Every structure is written in structure tokens, then in C-alpha cells.
Amino acid sequence: MDEFLLLTVSVITSGLLVGTIFSVVAAGLSLIHGTILLPQAANGQVFLGAGLLFWLFGTTFEWPLWVAVPLTFLAVAAFAFATERLVLRHFYPLKDRNISYLIITLGLAQILSGVYTGTFGKMTDTFQIVPPVTGFLVLEPFPISNARAIAFALAALVLVGLIVFLRMHRIGRALRAVFQNRDVARLRGINTPRIYRFAFLLGTMVTTAGGILYALAYALDLSVGWTMSLITFAIMIVGGPGSIVGALCVGLVFGFTQAIVSVIADPTIATFAYLLAMLAMLFVRPSGLFAR
């Protein structure tokens, strides 16, 4: 009975933590793809870059959290702003721009990966931040660290905030209008290029939040970006591009499938199991669970 309880609590905490953090990164991707038709292949590298910068400012330079976190957001925002201005906006007038964007962002991913290797890669192979909080949250009989509990709470907050923003705020509603039908949105007076720009910045900031939260919960290395790219792409496609609720639901399916299959089989089978679960969902709704 004790063992059953221990495993049940561990499955719940693992499913929630992994599910919400991956959902946050997938939500960033989903916002960008849903609005601009931009399959952001460099999303995983942006996520990794955010985590690495957070590590650099917070752990290597030992700057306080209230400096390290805003500075990470600022640095990534500057990068996103420059990328949008110098590259992405030139493709907005094209109807079939998604393949061009895929190629461009794949190249960007390779460049970013090379930059990280040549800089951070020479410093160490593991990037572990000093947790800003210590101690444990004890869910009898299973303690989880406060840093992880906070990462989960913040990830949930980001997702809820995003859903509320998209539903309640004027710009959020304009974004949703563009998700649903670009031409009608334009006819209704929405400045679509401006919304595209905003969506790219917002999506990148959400991904940045994911990178910081991941670094808070786990350690980073330079391979994490590619893994994150693949998984969050799958979550976005199955959830439906542009749908934050979709990203959240499929992210949780991903987290819980991994946790449950790990118990009844093993962690290697678990990595295939979530793909099977996603495939099954695509059979039910080929365009994505929450696609419009």
C-alpha cells in the first residue's frame, strides 16, 4: 500500500511538472505558428538560450533573481526583435511562406546551436542553477523540492495568464481573430503585420519563460534544445496550432503517459508510448485536437 501511494503521488507530480513545463514551451511555438504560419524550428534553441542566459546571469555572475530573470527576457526579446525585423517580416506577404520559414528557422537553429557550443560549451557540459529556494514540499509520502513546486506553479500561471489574455484583452482577441481567419481579420481593420510581430515576440517570451522554468526544475545541457524542439512540435500539432488549451491538454497527456508507462513498463518504452498516444489523438482529430 505504501509503495502504491508513493508511486501514485510520484506519477501525479511528474505528470504535472513535466506536462506544464513542456506545455509552456509548446504554447510559445503554437502562438507563433498559429498566427504567422511560422513553424519555428529554432524554438528549442531559443528555449535553451533562455536557460543558458539565466544560468550565466544567476549562477556564474551571481546576480540576484530580480536582475537575472528580467535580463534574460530582455536579451531574448532583443534577439526576437532583430530576427523579426531583419528576416521574418520580408516573408509576410507570401501566402506559402511556411516552408521558407521552416528552412530559415532550421538554419537559425543550427547557427544558435553552434554559438552555444562555441561559447557555453567550452565552460562546462552541465548547467545547473543554484536554486533560489531550498526545502521541500512534502506530499506524504513523497517530498518534492520547493524549486520544482515553484516551477510547476509558475508554469501553470503562465498558461492561465496566456489563456486569460487571449480571451479578455483587446490584443489577445485580435490575435485569436488572426488565428481563425487572417483575411476576415484584415477586413475588420486588424493590422495583421503588427499582430504577426507581436505574436512572434509574445511566443518567444513564453518560450523564454519555459527555458527559465526548466532550468529551475532540472539541469541543462546543450542537447536539451533539440529534444525540446521535437516534443513541443508534436504537442503543438496534436493540440492544434494556435491553441493554448490544446498545448496544455496534450502537454499533460505527454507528461502523464511518460510517468504511467515508466511505472508499468520502463522509461525507454515510455518515450515511445507518448508518441503512440499522440498518434492516436491525431487519428481522432487529424487537424489537431483544438484546431480551428
Instruction: Choose, by CB under 8 A, the member of 52, 201, 236, 259 that binds another protein.
Output: 259
Nearer to another protein, 85 or 125 (CB): 125
**Under rule CB under 8 A, which residues in 124-153 are in contact with another protein?**
124-128, 130, 136, 142-145, 148
Minimum distance between the CB of residue 210 and another protein, rounded to whole angstroms? 12
Instruction: Please pick, from the candidates 66, 95, 122, 283, the single residue that binds another protein as defined by CB under 8 A.
Output: 122
The reply to whether 2 sits near another protein by the rule CB under 8 A is yes
Choosing from 1, 96, 118, 284, the residue that interacts with another protein (CB under 8 A) is 118
Draw the binding track, 188-227, toward another protein (x: CB under 8 A; -: no contact): --------------------------x---xxxxxxx--x
DSSP string, the chain: -HHHHHHHHHHHHHHHHHHHHHHHHHHHHHHHHHHH----TTHHHHHHHHHHHHHIIIIIS---HHHHHHHHHHHHHHHHHHHHHHTGGGGTT-TT-HHHHHHHHHHHHHHHHHHHHHTGGGT-S-B-PPPSS-SEEEETTEEEEHHHHHHHHHHHHHHHHHHHHHHHSHHHHHHHHHHH-HHHHHHTT--HHHHHHHHHHHHHHHHHHHHHHHHHHS-B-TTHHHHHHHHHHHHHHHH-TT-HHHHHHHHHHHHHHHHHHHHHS-HHHHHHHHHHHHHHHHHH-TT-TT--
Task: Give the nearest distance from C-beta 220 to another protein in angstroms.
Answer: 5
Footprint of another protein on this chain (CB under 8 A)? 2-3, 6-7, 9-11, 13-14, 17-18, 62, 114, 117-118, 121-128, 130, 136, 142-145, 148, 214, 218-224, 227, 258-259, 262-263, 266-268, 271
